Structure 1
Amino acid sequence: MQDNHPQRETPAGKSMGKGMLIVAWVIALGLLTTFFAGWEGRQYNPNTNIQGQVQSNVREVVLESNRQHHYVATGLINGEEVVFLLDTGASDVVVPAQLAGKLGLKRGNAGYAQTANGIVQVFRTQLDTLDLGVIHLKDVRASINPGMSGNEVLLGMSALRHVEFTQRGTRLTLRQYGP
């Protein structure tokens, strides 16, 4: 049987052009994904690089609220970077158990806490240091919550009672007085 339709060969340049076009699209999609992931992250946490100022004996940090009107900020616990969600309704700084393990926090006595999800068992712990920009706190009481998921730390009143805070519009100003 004779083939009346001889196969046409694609010129090498044409197939290479298609390959380059595919590579260009993959790179463009990767760059767009990276850009929008960063943008989305900044929308959730607009305070990733907190600046602050120190004047005399006053340390001041200004936080911007996110789109959900929450104050989320990057800070440090015992020198390790964490993401804080300010929660004036929380008595303590509350750390998810998974993150507490990574931070090397020791579980102390068990207790119970009233949360939005009901009563949960928590474990007492102590933070050697807690830093939020230029604000530095030492020996902060905290709780480890095994029922809490994620890596977000609730910045509760055991830390916030050491600072003065004022809200105006979408900004929250935190001031720490003293040396």
Structure 2
Amino acid sequence: MSKELPSSFKLLTIWLLILTAVFLAAQAWQHQRERPRFTLNERELRLQRGPDGHFHWPGHLGGQETVFLVDTGATTTALPRALAERLGLRPLATLRSSTAGGVVEGYAAEVDLSLEGGLKAPRLRVVVLPTLDAPLLGMDVLGRLKFSQQAGEFTVELQR
């Protein structure tokens, strides 16, 4: 005597498998869209504007992979507090910072920063802010570079 599963259970299982496959495909597509898009050659690095309208520059902070939001309006490179805590950064001094959302309390810290394209900033003094969503690459780093921005591209001339 064979015990066969009811057809409704089989149909439900098939639909669950289809929906799972669609969900995983959508997640993979979203992840691919959010990845920083850049090209690198001997003379320059080109960042393509992301789907969120910003330029994202991959690099490392204290040895940990990090993707920075390029912010030419930020005076100083700034990190979210959660990231600074994961990196084990120690507060050097408390400070108040003027942001687009108003004045917030934070602290200064130091961290080794490196970016794709070979730029390194050892012991960079950064601002750590509690309400920041993503690491911001500010003019303290960008000001050392020769860069231009046009037509959805951020181009950095590399010093070799």
What is the TM-score with the length of structure 1 in the denominator?
0.76
The 1:63/1:32 distance shift into structure 2, 3 A limit, reads same
Corresponding residue for residue 117 of structure 2:
134
Question: Which of 13, 31, 47 is the equivalent residue of 2:36?
Answer: 47
Corresponding residue for residue 21 of structure 1:
11
1:66-108 Cα distance to aligned partner (Å, 9 max, x none) = 2332112432212211221111111111101111111122211
The 1:175/1:78 distance shift into structure 2, 3 A limit, reads farther
Report how far residue 12 of structure 1 moved.
Answer: 4.0
2:118 and 2:20 map into 1 onto residues whose CA distance is 38
2:16 and 2:146 map into 1 onto residues whose CA distance is 50
Instruction: Flag structure 1 segments of 5+ consecutive residues without an equivalent.
Output: 1-10
Indicate conservation of the 8 Å contact 1:51/1:134, yes or no: no
Report how far residue 154 of structure 1 moved.
Answer: 0.8
Report how far residue 112 of structure 1 moved.
Answer: 1.7
Does 1:154 find its partner at 2:141?
Answer: no
State percent identity of aligned pairs.
24
1:84 and 1:72 map into 2 onto residues whose CA distance is 5
2:96 and 2:49 map into 1 onto residues whose CA distance is 30
Corresponding residue for residue 4 of structure 1:
none
Q: Structure 2 counterpart of 1:157, which letter?
A: M
Report how far residue 14 of structure 1 moved.
Answer: 5.5
1:22-59 Cα distance to aligned partner (Å, 9 max, x none) = 2222222122112212322333x3416x5522x3xx4x
The 1:51/1:112 distance shift into structure 2, 3 A limit, reads same
Indicate conservation of the 8 Å contact 2:69/2:135, yes or no: yes
Q: Structure 1 counterpart of 2:40, which letter?
A: G
Question: Which of 145, 148, 156 is the equivalent residue of 1:166?
Answer: 148
1:37 and 1:74 map into 2 onto residues whose CA distance is 21
Report how far residue 129 of structure 1 moved.
Answer: 2.5
Q: How many matched pairs?
A: 158
Report how far residue 172 of structure 1 moved.
Answer: 1.2
Instruction: Flag structure 2 segments of 5+ consecutive residues without an equivalent.
Output: none
Task: Give the number of the structure whose alpha-carbon radius of gyration is greater.
Answer: 1
Report how far residue 113 of structure 1 moved.
Answer: 1.4
Q: Structure 1 counterpart of 2:139, which letter?
A: M
Report how far residue 141 of structure 1 moved.
Answer: 2.3
What is the TM-score with the length of structure 2 in the denominator?
0.84
The 1:75/1:26 distance shift into structure 2, 3 A limit, reads farther
